[in-house]
Each structure stands twice: as C-alpha cells, then as structure tokens.
Amino acid sequence: MPHLIVEYSSNLEGFPEAHALDALNATIIASGQVQYEQDLKSRTIRTEQFVIGNDPTALRGFVHAELRLLAGRTPEVKRDLSERIAAVLRELTPHPEGMLVQLSVDIVDMDRAAYYKGTL
C-alpha cells in the first residue's frame, strides 16, 4: 500500500532514477514496514521549472521524497523511515560543484478508513 514519490530538480544532471528507486524500495522493504513487497509503488518526478528561495545568483537544487503510508505508525517508526530514505538519497543524488542541494523527506498518513486497495 505505500506510495513513494521522489521529486528532484532538473539541474541535478544524471540523477539515477531507476537505481534510486531500486535502492529506496530495498531499504523501505528491509525496514519491515511493508507487508508485501509488491505493495510499495515508487516513482520519480523530474521538475523542470523550479525556483528555490529568492536569490537568483545562488546555485541551488533539491531532492524531495514523500512516503505515503496508511495511518497508524508511531512517530519513531516514521522518523526511522525518513532517515533511511534520506540516507539512500544522500548517497545517490548527484552533487554539482558549488550547488547547495537540499534533501528532504516527508512521511504522509493516508486515511485508513477511506483507502481503497485492490488488483485487476
């Protein structure tokens, strides 16, 4: 059931989309928080049009991951998941010279009562 969305700014040339998703899925599944490995659905979004802050002279990029889980995890479990995801992204995200690259991870609760899940 979890969904992972990884967004990154297009100035992070060579961001290894497929490799990053493979590594993130392996890490998240290894956490024990995904009941069936096939439930974890992960994707990347490359953001072409972005502005970071308000200093046009600064060279800046970002990578941001959002993990959506059914509600019910403890704050500790969520914090652990966000740190695991961040560790993978820190290792795999390109770091162009002179660029400030911000890395963030958000853990989002999904409404357990309303969520629908099935297969075709």
Q: Which of 14, 39, 59, 97 binds a second copy (CB under 8 A)?
A: 39
Residue 13 CB, nearest distance to a second copy (Å)?
A: 14
Which of helix, strand or coil describes residue 48? coil
97 binds a second copy (CB under 8 A): no
CA 36/CA 59 separation, integer angstroms? 41
How far is it, in rounded angstroms, from Cα 80 to Cα 84? 6
Tell me the pairing of strands 100-110 and 41-47.
unpaired
**76 to 95, contacts with a second copy by CB under 8 A?**
78-79, 81-83, 85-86, 90, 93, 95
Which residue's structure tokens are 């162009």?
96
Question: Two tokens at 40?
Answer: 């974890």
Classify residue 53 by its DSSP letter. Answer: T
Residue closer to a second copy (CB basis): 72 or 119: 119
Q: Which residues contact a second copy (rule: CB under 8 A)?
A: 1, 3, 7, 9, 17-18, 21-22, 25-26, 29, 36-44, 47, 49-56, 58, 60, 62, 64, 68, 75, 78-79, 81-83, 85-86, 90, 93, 95, 100-111, 113-120
